[in-house]
Amino acid sequence: MKFTIIMPTYNDSESIIEALDSVVMQTYKNWELLISDDGSTDDTREIIQQYLKKKKEKRIKYYYHNNQDQLNAILNIFPYITGDYIYILHSDDLLADKYVLEKALKEFKNSKIDALISSPIIINEKSEITGNLQVKKYKKSESTIALQLLWLGRNLYTDTAFHTYKSFTTTVKYNYLTWNTPFWLDLREKPAMLNVKNAIFPFFKYRIFEGNYINNPVGKLNVINGELRTAINLMKYYSIPFYKLQYYLFRTLNKAHITYKPIYIKKESKCKSKIIKFILRKRYKNEYKENLFLANLLSFYQSKNNRTIKINKIDNQDFIYYGKDMRKFNNDLLNNNLSSIYLKIIKEMQDGFKTIEVSNEKDYKKMINITKFLCIYPFITIVIKEE
């Protein structure tokens, strides 16, 4: 059985050699390492080329792409995957020890699972161990899905896992890599969970420092879009009474490592706007009001307007954003480069609507993805009305 390790990188020349070494040292030898350089502007390319020349390592392949952000960097590698099991190792993180692949393979052989997760070892910029990050015990149940909604749409578990090829190239590709939602939660139709197991051993070292993705403004905007999309999709199927009270109760018990099973009802949430506002304020306080998309998203869910808006035609040149394109969307929004179709929908969201009319099947399909990205798809109707 073969492992494919995907390593997205961007300007990580200072740490990537250590990451590469953590793979090359593995006792299990049947692996390939696919490096996806997301347009690095430092000397990452030269350092990797020197490393490959010195090591004469044919199992490592290097691919350079124009900068498209992390999830796109991973998706760009899909045509080159040949492994049975897939792992994403960021170029500033490390495999925990030389036995990781060997131990992971045993777990897959002994269990019928889609993915394997573990609690990482925390390291700093100098690769010094500073602690451990405890990942919750995975439990496949409806109460877990409800808890994901209660936890503000934030990932209850982790983004880092070993995956089977089948799961990675279908469910994970759609949910995590394309739409930036938790890999273990399938939101293609009615919410469902993958078969995931907690490993009893840590299999990676996670580097925490000021430059981490979530610690910069653009990174935070990218993350909130996925969290909102997750929560809003779940609101279609679950209602959590006394949402704020249950949230604080769960957070308190979670810190004490006490299991909390939420009270929930299997029906659509009624107070969507209150939950969305709570999610926004937890990330941004009142600063969300300064972002056109976030402010109008809240207005959309606060509105009781049942009107219909009409879209005559979507230009073939218009870029269609997915969750993986959140960085581009944010930059285009801030720089006034959004296409007219997105600006129109976002502005219409301020007053609310229930139905969007388009004129043809092609625009119908585009509108599905536009409204999925804008986090309103579960609660609007798209219809074709030919002129």
CB 288 within 8 A of CB 262: no
Question: Which residues, at least 6 apart from 11, have a Cβ–Cβ distance to it below 8 Å?
Answer: 40, 41, 42, 44
What is the three-class DSSP state of 88? strand
pTM, two decimal places: 0.94
| CB-based contacts of 381-387 (< 8 A; 24+ apart in sequence) | 381/354, 381/355, 381/356, 382/355, 382/356, 382/358, 383/355, 383/356, 383/357, 383/358, 384/357, 384/358, 384/359, 384/360, 385/310, 385/357, 385/358, 385/359, 386/359, 386/360, 387/312, 387/359
How does strand 192-193 pair with strand 115-117? unpaired
CA-based nearest residue to 203, from 113, 107, 112, 99? 99
What pLDDT is attached to residue 215? 56
CATH of region 3-212, choose from 3.90.550.10, 3.10.580.10, 3.30.1540.20, 3.40.50.11890: 3.90.550.10
What pLDDT is attached to residue 214? 55
What pLDDT is attached to residue 250? 96
The per-residue pLDDT for range 304-317, each reduced to its tens digit, is: 999 999 999 999 99
CB 148 within 8 A of CB 234: yes
Residues 312, 318, 323, 327: is their CA dihedral positive or negative?
negative
| CB-based contacts of 212-220 (< 8 A; 24+ apart in sequence) | 213/70, 218/327, 218/330, 218/331, 220/283, 220/284
CA-based nearest residue to 36, from 4, 2, 3? 4
Residues in the chain: 387
What pLDDT is attached to residue 223? 85
DSSP per residue, 310-359: E-----TTSPPP-GGGHHHHHHHHHTT---HHHHHHHHHHTT--SEEEES
The per-residue pLDDT for range 231-278, each reduced to its tens digit, is: 999 999 999 999 999 999 999 999 898 999 999 999 999 999 999 999
CB 292 within 8 A of CB 346: yes
The pair of structure tokens assigned to 248 is 């604080």
Give Dmax over CA atoms of the chain in angstroms. 66
Q: Where are the domains positioned within the chain?
A: 3-212, 291-387
Q: What is the pLDDT along the chain (387 residues), one digit of tens a residue?
A: 999 999 999 999 999 999 999 999 999 999 999 999 999 999 999 999 999 999 889 999 999 999 999 999 999 999 999 999 999 999 999 999 999 999 999 999 999 999 999 999 999 999 999 999 999 999 999 999 999 999 999 999 999 999 999 999 999 999 999 999 999 999 999 999 999 999 999 999 999 976 555 556 667 778 899 999 999 999 999 999 999 999 999 999 998 989 999 999 999 999 999 999 999 999 989 999 999 999 999 999 999 999 999 999 999 999 999 999 999 999 999 899 999 999 999 999 999 999 999 999 999 999 999 999 999 999 999 999 876
Residues 178, 183, 187, 188: is their CA dihedral positive or negative?
positive
The span from the CA of 108 to the CA of 113, in Å, is 7
Report the chain's C-alpha Rg in angstroms.
22
Phi, psi for 297 (deg, rounded to 5): -65, -45
